[in-house]
Structure formats: C-alpha cells, structure tokens
Chains A and B, each alone.
Chain A
C-alpha cells in the first residue's frame, strides 16, 4: 500500500455533509457534528474480494482497504480475527436455534474489542507524526492504548474515572503508561480530556483521532460476515457505551453489500445497556429520536457507564432503521448473563458481555428476536478484567486435606 493513493478521500460531517481534509480533527466547524471518514468505493472495489481477503493473514488488516490509514500498518498488526463460536448449548438454554458468540474477549493484545480501534488510531497518529497518544476511558480503551503505545514506542497518557475496577487500572499501569485517575464520572473525564486536548499537542484517540479510531470497529462486523460463510446474520446484539460500535457494525455490513462481498440481508441490529445507565435504550423504548443523558450512572457495568453517549443519536437511528430494539438488564441479570455465557459456552466475559446476554435473553423471551433466526452476540471484553462483579456470587472452592478418603466423602456428598 505504500506510496499508493489513499483509498479514503477525507472527512465528511455526518450532520451537514461539509467536507474536510483527512487531518487530526473530529468536529465539524460549521455545526459541531461528528466527522466521518469518506472512502473512494470505486477505487476500493477492484482491490478487495472474498478471495483476496482469504489470501491474507488472519487479523483485521485483511480488510485494510476499508480502514483509514495511508501507509503500512505500524501498530497492532496482529489485532482481530477473533473466533466466532457456535454456541449450541447456550442456544438450547435460551430456546433459540442458531446462536453465535463473536468473542472479542480474546482479542490481541489486551482482550477487548478496543484493540481494533487503537490499532487504527495509533497507526494514523504515527502517520500524522505524533509522539504522544492519550485517551479518556472506562478501562478497556486505556488498556489498549497503553499496551499498543508501549509496543510502538509512543508516550501515552490514559485518563480514567478513579473508581474503575482494579484489574482495569493494573491492566494499564503495567505497560508503563501515565495513568491519571479522575475523581468523577466518565463523562467528566471526557470533558476534561477535551480541554486537555485543546492545550496539549497529543493524539487523543477518542477525540482528535476519533474519525479514524471509530472505523476500526467495522472490522468486527466484517469478520462476523466472513466467519458466517460470507453472509449476514438475522440478528446482532451489541453493547453500547458511547454508541459507536453499533453504528460501525451496520456500516461494515452496508459496505460489504455495496462492494458485492455479501448479499444484502435485513439484519436486525439490537443494542444493550445496563439498567442504571441506559440513555440510548430508554430512548428506543420510548420511541424518541434523541436521548436524555444520565448524570450519575450507577451500575456494575463500568465499561458501559457513559451517561452522555456521543453516538447515542446515531445508535437510536441504527436500531430503528434495522428493525432492532434495545434492552437494559439490571445488575442481577448482568451477573446471570456472565454465568450463562461461561457455563453454557465456555466464554468468560466482562460485565458488558453479561449485559449483552441479559439483553438478548429479554428480547428472546419477549418475542422480539425470533428463536428460529440466526443471532450473533458481540462479546467485547474479558471477564478477568471485572472479577469483582462475581464476588460472592459463585460457590467457593471445596477445601480438603490431601486425602483420598476426604475426596471420596466429598464426591459422595456432591453426587448424592
């Protein structure tokens, strides 16, 4: 790809369609709308096909023509192509015929889907010549920025709410990054970062790199389509925090259809948020086209605790346009979701995954998801990052002396 003409033309405002050069900017100067990467699909079409994609290494850069970098991949070249697991036992438990788990909890290197967006954002940051990268994060993004920056030799600052799960904090500090805990909600962290970004010449992956960063999420959708045998599912259930991923899953399917890589198919795209921080789901349920922000999110699902979701408006549109719906399980249902996924599919997810399972369960029970249709659950982060959610919820391990007799007694009691 080196020295070739870039396959994206520039940035375009999602609100007023004003066009900009592909610079490190994220907001339309005319109307404050978010900027989106605009591709040259005519130039891309002859360069990408099922055969070409399949001839490439199993990582998300097999779709590189549809990701917004200009030169070679310099950060995160092994990210993506996580397993799409057919979960027959969980399907039976939930009373559906065909259920798949898109398991980004084993993404490389930091066990969440954020590795996808960070790989694009940091490669692009290097193209712009930045030496310092930063982010506001509920945990997973910070982990990925810290790890990928360390590998790439970039300085990094990650800003997080100070009450995050210890596993998520440690999962950033270990990489030698600057972890800054802010006493406040994620939305307050974001606000501060916007102001810091105005003062310091850094690549903030979710601020001035956002148009490029957000495109990385599309790879999750491309992989789902490819791994289903080049077809689109009937239903996808996606967790929503800022609401970007759900819109990018739709964009990925639309692009594959536009390029003739898959046949058009009406996929219902559903969103999941936890009960005490569900501004987007609430708007969908109430039939509103805009959400009311949540001032103080109070949920065990910290990775989805964004009260003022930047892409909330477009998430609502995505669900409405695709015939999808939204659900907001409570903390108990989230824990039940984590356990169902673990006990029936062998996948240990963080609380966001429990939210997805809990939301899917509600929609199946309410008849909003037809049990005879294919369903994909997007699992976006690993369970070891949010262990405390399960504290006291699992039976403690049995403790016995190193004695066969004691074990036999225990076994007899358990099988009685």
Chain B
C-alpha cells in the first residue's frame, strides 16, 4: 500500500528536492515513521521530543486537517493524499 505525501519546501532538502514522495502505513503516525526510515531526519523536523506533531505543523489527509479527525492516529488508505504544511499567516 502506497500513499502520496506532499513535501513542503522547508523539508525538501531531506527528500532529494522531491515535492511528492511515497510512504506506507495505516495511520498518519505510521506514515511518519515510514518516512523517517526513507528520509532520515524528517521525523524530528515535524515532531517534538515526545513524538507529538510540532505546533506549527499542519497535516492534511486529502482536504481535511487531522486535528479535526483523530490526530496522528487518523487512519489513511491507499490513494489518500497527505500534505504537510507549515502554519501560514494572512488576512
């Protein structure tokens, strides 16, 4: 099972400049662990010491913010598109 993850500019140094990468897992958490094995260092960029997502990191499954679902335990399935996006100002 393979899921596409969109990589934001600040992380592309770790992904050979690829803006979309494949990852495997049944939850967001598993995806992050899987990405860490493929691209070492990626997890610590988006998660804090306790393994929780950092407060300025937003993760979306298709169009939905995982904070409105089950956070890192949110289930993912084949064909889902995951986006990792830094907090953005505006108004």
Interface positions of A (Cβ within 8 A of B):
15, 25-34, 114, 135-138, 140-141, 184, 186-188, 190-191, 193-195, 197-199, 206-207, 210, 213-214, 241-242, 244, 290, 292-293, 295, 303-304, 306, 308, 310-311, 313
Interface positions of B (Cβ within 8 A of A):
6, 8-11, 13, 19, 45-46, 54-58, 60, 63, 65, 67-68, 83, 85-91
User: Which of B54, B56, B63, B91 lies in contact with A303, CB distance below 8 A?
Assistant: B91
A136-B90, A214-B89 are known contacts; what are 13 more A-B pairs with Cβ within 8 Å? A25-B10, A32-B87, A34-B89, A138-B91, A141-B91, A190-B88, A191-B58, A195-B83, A195-B85, A197-B9, A206-B91, A213-B89, A306-B91
Q: A194-B8, A194-B86 are in contact. Are A32 and B91 (CB under 8 A)?
A: no
State A295–B9 Cα separation when bound (angstroms). Answer: 25
Residues of chain A with a CB closer than 8 A to B86's CB: 26-27, 32, 194
State A290–B48 Cα separation when bound (angstroms). Answer: 15
Task: Tell me the smallest distance from the CB of A176 to a CB of chain B, in Å.
Answer: 22
Residues of chain A with a CB closer than 8 A to B90's CB: 135-138, 141, 186, 190, 206, 241-242, 306, 310
Residues of chain A with a CB closer than 8 A to B60's CB: 191
Quick one: which of A135, A194, A311 has the most chain B CB within 10 A?
A: A194
Is there an interface contact between B45 and A137, defined as CB atoms closer than 8 Å? Answer: no
State A244–B89 Cα separation when bound (angstroms). Answer: 7
Q: A29-B10, A31-B45, A31-B54 are in contact. Are A194 and B65 (CB under 8 A)?
A: no
State A191–B87 Cα separation when bound (angstroms). Answer: 9
Residues of chain B with a CB closer than 8 A to A193's CB: 88
Identify 17 residue pairs between A and B in the complex whose beta-carbon atoms are under 8 Å apart, listed by A's number. Answer: A15-B54, A15-B56, A25-B10, A27-B86, A29-B45, A30-B45, A32-B54, A34-B89, A210-B88, A241-B90, A241-B91, A242-B88, A242-B90, A242-B91, A293-B67, A295-B68, A310-B87
State A310–B56 Cα separation when bound (angstroms). Answer: 7
Task: Tell me the smallest distance from the CB of B16 to a CB of chain A, in Å.
Answer: 15
Task: Tell me the smallest distance from the CB of A80 to a CB of chain B, in Å.
Answer: 17
Quick one: which of B11, B55, B83 has the most chain A CB within 10 A?
A: B55
Is there an interface contact between B10 and A32, defined as CB atoms closer than 8 Å? Answer: yes
Task: Tell me the smallest distance from the CB of B55 to a CB of chain A, in Å.
Answer: 6
Q: What 8 pairs between A and B have smallest CB-CB spacing?
A: A310-B87, A206-B90, A241-B91, A27-B86, A310-B89, A32-B56, A190-B88, A27-B10
Residues of chain B with a CB closer than 8 A to A304's CB: 91
Is there an interface contact between B65 and A207, defined as CB atoms closer than 8 Å? Answer: no
Residues of chain B with a CB closer than 8 A to A310's CB: 56, 87-90
State A313–B55 Cα separation when bound (angstroms). Answer: 9
Q: A29-B10, A29-B45, A194-B85 are in contact. Are A292 and B91 (CB under 8 A)?
A: no
Is there an interface contact between A244 and B91, defined as CB atoms closer than 8 Å? Answer: yes
Residues of chain B with a CB closer than 8 A to A199's CB: 19
State A158–B90 Cα separation when bound (angstroms). Answer: 12
State A304–B91 Cα separation when bound (angstroms). Answer: 7
State A186–B90 Cα separation when bound (angstroms). Answer: 9
User: Which of A29, A207, A290, A303 lies in contact with B88, CB distance below 8 A?
Assistant: A207
Residues of chain B with a CB closer than 8 A to A34's CB: 56, 87, 89
Residues of chain B with a CB closer than 8 A to A33's CB: 54, 56
Is there an interface contact between A290 and B55, defined as CB atoms closer than 8 Å? Answer: yes
State A32–B91 Cα separation when bound (angstroms). Answer: 21
Residues of chain A with a CB closer than 8 A to B85's CB: 191, 194-195
State A311–B90 Cα separation when bound (angstroms). Answer: 10
State A335–B85 Cα separation when bound (angstroms). Answer: 35
Quick one: which of B10, B67, B89, B90 has the most chain A CB within 10 A?
A: B90
Residues of chain B with a CB closer than 8 A to A15's CB: 54, 56
Beta-carbon nearest neighbor of B87 in chain A? A310
State A198–B54 Cα separation when bound (angstroms). Answer: 21
Residues of chain A with a CB closer than 8 A to B57's CB: 32
